[in-house]
Amino acid sequence: MWDTQSSKITHQLPPQDQPNGVAYSPDGQFVATSNDAGTVQIWDAQGKLVRVLTGHTDAGWAYPVVWSPDTSLLGTARAYGLVQLWEVQNGQELAAIQRHNAGVFTGSWSPSGTVIATGSDDATVRLWG
């Protein structure tokens, strides 16, 4: 993490296996990361590990990490097209949906927090709500 005024590193997360996704929570309190090992981790803004999403540690990369507008949920996706929804406070998986036929590389929540859009290598954009 960089101080944009001084251009100095203020916090650094430990090395990860090919980081793919990184996203600050909308409230600025957390950072979520994903990597090629398939691991998704949640860190506090000072770089302390808060949680590893235990259902997200199997082989196969994880790419996008997308926060709900109220920071209560995290959406993630996998190399094989699986989209997962997590409750941030306890790390519980709320949903796992397989609708893409290839890896999911991007995603975004609607401002209302009721719909997630995902984009995949299968040339589709899907809306989940």
pLDDT digits (tens, 9 = 90+) for 45-74: 888 999 998 776 556 677 789 999 999 999
Decide: 96 and 77 in contact? Cβ < 8 Å. Answer: no
Q: What is the pLDDT of residue 12?
A: 72
Return the SS3 of 54.
helix
Give CATH superfamily name and number for 17-128: YVTN repeat-like/Quinoprotein amine dehydrogenase (2.130.10.10)
Q: What is the pLDDT of residue 16?
A: 66
Q: What is the pTM of this model?
A: 0.84
DSSP 107: E
Q: What is the pLDDT of residue 79?
A: 80
Residue 15: which pLDDT band, with cuts at 50, 70 and 90? low
DSSP 89: T
Q: What is the pLDDT of residue 61?
A: 76
Domain ranges of the chain: 17-128
